[in-house]
A and B are shown apart, each in its own frame.
Chain A
Amino acid sequence: MIPELGHFALALAVVIAAAQAVLPLIGAARRDAVLMASAPSLAFGQLAALALSFGALLWSSVVSDFSVYNIAENSQSLKPLLYKITGIWGDHEGSILLWCLILALCGAAVGAFGRALPATVRARVIGVLGATSAGFVLFSLTVSNPFVRLWPPPWEGQGMNPLLEDPGLAFHPPILYAGYVGFSIPFAFALAALIEGRVDAAWGRWVRPWALAAWACLTGGIALGSWWSYYVLGWGGYWFWDPVENASLLPWLAGTALVHSAIVVEKRDALKIWTVLLAIGTFSLSLCGTFLVRSGILNSVHAFANDPARGVFILVLLALVIGTALVLFAWRAPRLQPTGIFAPLSREGGLVLNNILLCSIAAVVFTGTTYPLFAQLLAGAQISVGAPFFNAAVLPLAIPLFVVMVVGPMLSWKRAALAPALIRLWWVALAALAAGGFATFHAALFPALGFAASVWLILGAFVDIIARIGLFRLPLATSLARLGGIPLAAWGSAIAHAGMGITVAGIAGMAIAEHRIVAVTVGETVDLGGYHWTLEDLHDAPGPNYSARLADIRVTHDGRVIAVMSPGRRSYPLQRTTTTETAIRTNLFRDLYAVLGEERDGKAVLRLHVNYLAPWIWLGALVMAAGGGLSLADRRLRIGAPLRRAAAPVVTA
């Protein structure tokens, strides 16, 4: 009964979404206030229907209703409650439903927080979101229905992939999807602007908070996924340039560019057509990221349901959404008058350079990811494009980006001089050089470059704030008093830029990580990275739906016990899979990382790592996301704040 209710609610959501697509758009075209006013209610209705549907699936999973095919395939009665809940988005059907739910949430959010928007803009934005929603909910209802029944119901479910039974992965999809789907709002704003035929500074101000929120979520989601692969997959890496990872990196790169170019629209009323294109492009890449990887075309490790029939539906849907947007762009964008003259050497010039570099990196990642496909299609040749290519191709673009990230914010709007900016940065450059030079004694060129870049980014991020409060120039009390006057957006950008520096430090640290593979008997000690690792014991340990084999390792340094860690292997009888349980001890500056391999002749094979600064990779991403959040909290950006025209240049005369 409950699954049927969910099924019905899903069908209802399609109808409401279709209405949400049609009525407000007609209303906006006819300037019909009543039709336009229906938009928020329809968006709320769609959200309610999808929430009901999602709730029904949740219920079926929690009570282990194995007559629902999806639950029987992916769950089992012994599974812990947390994973019964989060397991919903561990498979294709459930994750699509979650995706739709978040999209409905976006529509409702614009309905709830967009009261200050002009009526036509709000109606059009919600209408575009409704149209997108209608397509994807229809996809869920027809070819990815999570409520298909199974008769007779099996006694026990198949169980879920044990690798996914992990808290990190449990929350990775919702956050990642919030990021992906969140970019639907800037997308809808872009289409609304194209339909209206008008983009101005106010548009930039409307779009930026939504883009920032989505960007922060995407940053967090990617970091969580990377962290998961670091501690679950257990071979000491954190990013593999797998197509699925690249698919999430692409909208992140485009979204980062969008967040920056929207500033130019807002402050200088320039870069408007480009920003509209970026808003379309970012969401298009998000769509490709979530859906193309499920078609099975890409050779990825992620074994999502690879069903070509589903693939065709997805492709048609993507063609409709992206195609409509780009047709509208090609048709209407020429009408948007280019405005705003600017000098190359200015804050906006720096932001343009940032956009070029970010989009170039995105282009390289896209080319590398799809190149094997097109080589196969057009030349019948089989080639691989992997990590060595991406590392080599992205680095030359990342270095100038890091330079611009620090120098750009030092430049003033409209017209700036380079020399004063560089003078203010001399000590940062000196510190970066010193760090890099020092690192060359211990590391190869690439990690040393990374450490230099990291110091440059972290210190450089705060130079502007230091100058603003006049630290070391004015009495300390005055400086501290001025600290409160710094707008949150300035803090946000400084912190986000510093976060990038922290991530770069982590990446550089991982590049000098040490590891050893040893075969040891119980009681034996090996040395790695200045630590003594002793295998204390090997024993079995039972679990709820698995049995485990654990190795207890004592790690000492200068005679002091630093950690006792127990890496292990779990075997899940139902799924007939074995997983490795990595043991990690961190002090934030280095991770001790141990993996248990096979046992042979009374010896256990251990893989031991000392990963320097590893946690900084994800810490940096969190700091970046926090910076984005802080910018979002700025009063001037707050959604629903009274609308003002962008400060006209006349006022300052």
Chain B
Amino acid sequence: MSDAAPARGLSRRALLGIPLVAAAAAGAGFYALLRRMEAGHYDPHAVDNPLVGQAIPDFAPLPAQDPATTGFGSADLRAALHATGRPILVNFFASWCVPCRIEHPQLMAMAGAGVAIWGIAYKDQAADAAKLLGEDGDPYARLARDENGRVSIDWGLYGVPETFLIDRAGIIRGHWAGPLAPETVRDEVSPLLRAHA
């Protein structure tokens, strides 16, 4: 036997240990994901919006919700941001969307606290949206209607409701898909609003 034999025995042992190490690594990974899922930091179905950190997409003025108010386009949004120097929340919603009703109280509360929320009704009938806001209260400073959903696609929308936070320079700083829960408003939206105020 040469003196290389123990080394070879060792490497053989190491080779046979590889499956264990690989499985342990995979298991640790799955465990980490599971914990993050439990904590709400990881959702396999959520889609990160690539526009966060970028300027709002350009869009021509959308029609108004009803004849009494005027709709808005990206130019109006930028002008308002420039004029007030305060961030604006852009909220996509629809009267036919059940989860939108869940987040409605949170929007009302924020609007009451002086947060500027601009609404875009996604594929909605003007009458339906008007009826809903008449019943439940209207949190929106400005309201527009994206009838065919094209502008919403430019925002990377994949469902309603979705909410974007725009800073005064017109950069998207925050994005939330799904209804805003009170905790989300408290822990995420409000701090971000303050940071960009």
- A residues neighboring B (CB under 8 Å): 273, 277, 280-281, 284, 292, 295-299, 308-309, 311-312, 315, 318-319, 322-323, 326-327, 329-330, 333-334, 370, 373-374, 376-377, 382
Contacts of B159 in A (CB 8 A): none
- B residues neighboring A (CB under 8 Å): 9, 12-13, 16-17, 19-20, 23-24, 26-27, 29-34, 36-38, 42, 44-45, 47-48
11 A-B residue pairs with Cβ-Cβ distance under 8 Å, sorted by A, are A284-B23, A296-B37, A298-B44, A299-B45, A319-B27, A330-B13, A330-B19, A333-B16, A373-B29, A377-B32, A377-B33
Q: Is the CB of A323 within 8 A of B44?
A: no
Contacts of B24 in A (CB 8 A): 323
One of A315, A326, A334 near B9 (C-beta < 8 A) = A334
Known: A280-B19, A315-B34, A330-B17. 10 other contacts (CB 8 A): A292-B30, A297-B33, A308-B34, A315-B30, A322-B23, A322-B27, A326-B19, A326-B20, A326-B23, A373-B44
Q: Is the CB of B48 within 8 A of A277?
A: no
Q: Is the CB of A374 within 8 A of B20?
A: no
Q: Is the CB of A374 within 8 A of B29?
A: yes
Contacts of B34 in A (CB 8 A): 295, 297, 308, 311-312, 315
Q: Is the CB of B32 within 8 A of A334?
A: no
Contacts of B12 in A (CB 8 A): 334
Q: Is the CB of B26 within 8 A of A370?
A: yes
Contacts of B48 in A (CB 8 A): 382
CA distance A295 to B35 in the complex (A): 11
CA distance A377 to B34 in the complex (A): 11
CA distance A329 to B17 in the complex (A): 8
Q: Is the CB of B42 within 8 A of A308?
A: no
Using known A-B contacts A298-B44, A334-B9, A376-B42, determine if residue A277 contacts B19 with beta carbons closer than 8 Å.
yes
By Cβ-Cβ distance, the 6 closest A-B pairs, closest first, are A299-B44, A326-B20, A330-B17, A308-B38, A333-B16, A330-B20
Contacts of A280 in B (CB 8 A): 19
Q: Is the CB of B37 within 8 A of A315?
A: no
Using known A-B contacts A297-B30, A382-B47, determine if residue A334 contacts B13 with beta carbons closer than 8 Å.
yes
> Would you call the interface of chain B mostly helix, strand, loop, or mixed?
helix
CA distance A278 to B19 in the complex (A): 11
Q: Is the CB of B37 within 8 A of A297?
A: yes
CA distance A326 to B30 in the complex (A): 18
Q: Is the CB of A329 within 8 A of B20?
A: yes
Which residue from chain B places its CB closest to the CB of A338 in the assembled complex? B12
CA distance A225 to B59 in the complex (A): 46
Which residue from chain B places its CB closest to the CB of A280 in the assembled complex? B19
CA distance A520 to B32 in the complex (A): 53
Chain A nearest CB, measured from B43 CB (Å): 9
Chain B nearest CB, measured from A294 CB (Å): 12
CA distance A277 to B27 in the complex (A): 18
Chain A nearest CB, measured from B12 CB (Å): 6
Contacts of A334 in B (CB 8 A): 9, 12-13, 16
CA distance A299 to B47 in the complex (A): 11
CA distance A374 to B44 in the complex (A): 12
Which residue from chain B places its CB closest to the CB of A380 in the assembled complex? B48
Contacts of B44 in A (CB 8 A): 296-299, 373
Q: Is the CB of B27 within 8 A of A327?
A: no
Contacts of B13 in A (CB 8 A): 330, 334
One of B16, B17, B27, B45 near A315 (C-beta < 8 A) = B27
Contacts of A273 in B (CB 8 A): 16
Which residue from chain B places its CB closest to the CB of A318 in the assembled complex? B27
Contacts of B45 in A (CB 8 A): 299
**Residue of B17, B23, B26, B48 with most chain A CB atoms under a 10 A cut-off:** B23
CA distance A374 to B45 in the complex (A): 15
Contacts of B32 in A (CB 8 A): 377
CA distance A382 to B20 in the complex (A): 28
CA distance A49 to B56 in the complex (A): 64
Contacts of A299 in B (CB 8 A): 44-45
CA distance A277 to B36 in the complex (A): 32
CA distance A374 to B47 in the complex (A): 16
Q: Is the CB of B19 within 8 A of A329?
A: yes
CA distance A629 to B43 in the complex (A): 43
CA distance A311 to B20 in the complex (A): 21
Chain B nearest CB, measured from A275 CB (Å): 13
Q: Is the CB of A323 within 8 A of B16?
A: no
Which residue from chain B places its CB closest to the CB of A277 in the assembled complex? B19
Contacts of B27 in A (CB 8 A): 315, 318-319, 322-323
Which residue from chain B places its CB closest to the CB of A333 in the assembled complex? B16
Contacts of B42 in A (CB 8 A): 376
Contacts of A296 in B (CB 8 A): 37, 44
Chain B nearest CB, measured from A106 CB (Å): 22
Q: Is the CB of B33 within 8 A of A373?
A: yes
CA distance A273 to B29 in the complex (A): 27
Q: Is the CB of A323 within 8 A of B19?
A: no
Contacts of A377 in B (CB 8 A): 29, 32-33, 36
**Residue of A277, A280, A281, A296 with most chain B CB atoms under a 10 A cut-off:** A296
CA distance A312 to B30 in the complex (A): 10
CA distance A519 to B190 in the complex (A): 51
Chain A nearest CB, measured from B131 CB (Å): 23
Q: Is the CB of B33 within 8 A of A323?
A: no
Chain B nearest CB, measured from A394 CB (Å): 21
Which residue from chain B places its CB closest to the CB of A284 in the assembled complex? B23
Contacts of A370 in B (CB 8 A): 26, 29
Which residue from chain B places its CB closest to the CB of A374 in the assembled complex? B29
Contacts of A315 in B (CB 8 A): 27, 30-31, 34
Contacts of A284 in B (CB 8 A): 23
CA distance A382 to B49 in the complex (A): 10
CA distance A322 to B21 in the complex (A): 12
Chain B nearest CB, measured from A331 CB (Å): 9
Chain B nearest CB, measured from A300 CB (Å): 8
CA distance A281 to B20 in the complex (A): 11
Contacts of A309 in B (CB 8 A): 38
Which residue from chain A places its CB closest to the CB of B40 in the assembled complex? A308
CA distance A327 to B19 in the complex (A): 9
Q: Is the CB of A323 within 8 A of B23?
A: yes
Contacts of A376 in B (CB 8 A): 33, 42
Chain A nearest CB, measured from B53 CB (Å): 14
Which residue from chain B places its CB closest to the CB of A370 in the assembled complex? B26
Chain B nearest CB, measured from A563 CB (Å): 39
Which residue from chain A places its CB closest to the CB of B18 in the assembled complex? A330
Which residue from chain A places its CB closest to the CB of B47 in the assembled complex? A382
Chain A nearest CB, measured from B50 CB (Å): 9
Chain A nearest CB, measured from B70 CB (Å): 34
Chain B nearest CB, measured from A222 CB (Å): 23
CA distance A405 to B133 in the complex (A): 68
Q: Is the CB of B19 within 8 A of A281?
A: yes
Contacts of B20 in A (CB 8 A): 323, 326-327, 329-330
Which residue from chain B places its CB closest to the CB of A298 in the assembled complex? B44
Q: Is the CB of A308 within 8 A of B37?
A: yes
Contacts of B17 in A (CB 8 A): 330
Contacts of A333 in B (CB 8 A): 16
Chain A nearest CB, measured from B31 CB (Å): 6
Q: Is the CB of B16 within 8 A of A329?
A: yes
Contacts of A319 in B (CB 8 A): 27
Which residue from chain B places its CB closest to the CB of A332 in the assembled complex? B16
Which residue from chain B places its CB closest to the CB of A378 in the assembled complex? B29
Contacts of A312 in B (CB 8 A): 31, 34, 38
CA distance A319 to B26 in the complex (A): 10
